[in-house]
Structure 1
Amino acid sequence: MTAAFAAVFVALFVAHQVADHWIQTQHQADCKGRPGWPGRIACAAHVATYTLTALVALAALALSTDLDVSPGRAAAGLTISAVTHYIADRRTPLKRLAELTGSAKFYALGCPRPGRDDNPSLGTGSYALDQSFHYLFLFVAALVIAA
């Protein structure tokens, strides 16, 4: 299981990077955290393409290495990844988690300030917490898939 876990985790990690930064549309990125149905729909669309990207990566891994991936375990792992990705990308749950864990100041680090001409960038605390949350559940998903 050790080699299988490592291979599955790498496949999910690469898929995550590609799906979050190349596949996700600008509309999805801009709207997925908005309140109401427009935000929910944008986030669901992003998570759908994200999960499809992960499925393609897993299939490529399995086909190119003869890794035996159980369809049931793959479905369970990808579901864990998809649900937790949706939760984090709706933004409010992750912000609340940061507040509960005493990380609210870090969450706000580098975020544009209202009324200022701050330039938003990927170097924010909220982005770092978002990515680490995703990595945690990619780890869990890989454990489930490779078990």
Structure 2
Amino acid sequence: MTAVFAAVFIALYVGHSVGDHWVQSSHQSMTKGKPGWVGRLADARHVATLTVTKAALLAPVALLLELHLSVLGTVIGLGVDAASHWWADRRSTLAWLAEVTGKAQFYRLGAPREGRDDNPHIGTGAYALDQSFHHLWLLVAALIIATV
């Protein structure tokens, strides 16, 4: 079971990186945090393509390594991961979590200043907390997939 968990986690982690950075469209990235249905739908489209990417990478790993994964565990694990990803990527939700956990100052680290987009990289506190949050839920998803 330990090897199954490790293989599943690695596949999900790589799928997350590819889906979050290569598959996600610029429109989804720029729109998913906007208020209302425009943002919610852009986020939903991002999470749908992200989840398909994770499943597309998990499937050959499971097949080639002869991992015995249940359909139920896989669906629940990917579903939990998708829901948590959608929640965090609405941006105001993760900003709220940073605020209530005392991480608001770190969340704002490296953010562009009002009226100036002067940060030429994605190395911001918000990005670090976003990715860390996603990694936590990848771990939970891998545990579910490997054990259910």
- Measured against the shorter chain, the TM-score band is over 0.9
- The alignment yields a C-alpha RMSD, in angstroms, of 0.9
In structure 2, distance between residues paired with 1:29 and 1:117: 16
Post-superposition shift, 1:120? 4.8
% identical aligned pairs: 59
Moved over 6 A (4+): none
Aligned to 1:62: 62
In structure 2, distance between residues paired with 1:18 and 1:117: 26
Aligned to 1:32: 32
In structure 2, distance between residues paired with 1:129 and 1:25: 21
Post-superposition shift, 1:63? 1.1
CA contact (8 A) 1:112 1:120 kept: no
Q: Deviations over 1:45-76 (max 9, x none)?
A: 00000000111111111111111110000000
The SS at the match of 1:56 is helix
- 1:132 matched to 2:146? The reply is no
Post-superposition shift, 1:121? 2.3
Aligned to 1:98: 98
Instruction: Note the residue ranges of structure 1 that are not aligned, 5 or more in a row.
Output: none
Post-superposition shift, 1:116? 3.0
- Superposition map of 1:1-147 within 5 A: 1-147=1-147
Q: 1:71 to 1:117 in 2, by over 3 A?
A: closer
Instruction: Note the residue ranges of structure 2 that are not aligned, 5 or more in a row.
Output: none
Q: 1:31 to 1:117 in 2, by over 3 A?
A: closer
In structure 2, distance between residues paired with 1:117 and 1:131: 21
CA contact (8 A) 2:5 2:146 kept: yes
The SS at the match of 2:52 is helix
In structure 1, distance between residues paired with 2:31 and 2:117: 21
The SS at the match of 1:113 is coil
Q: Which segment is superposed worse, 135-144 or 52-61?
A: 52-61
In structure 1, distance between residues paired with 2:115 and 2:52: 39
Residue type of the alignment partner of 1:73: G
After TM superposition, the score normalised by the length of structure 1 is 0.98
Residue type of the alignment partner of 1:24: Q
In structure 2, distance between residues paired with 1:142 and 1:136: 10
Q: Deviations over 1:85-142 (max 9, x none)?
A: 0000000110000000000000000000102351352100000000000000000000
In structure 2, distance between residues paired with 1:127 and 1:120: 13
After TM superposition, the score normalised by the length of structure 2 is 0.97
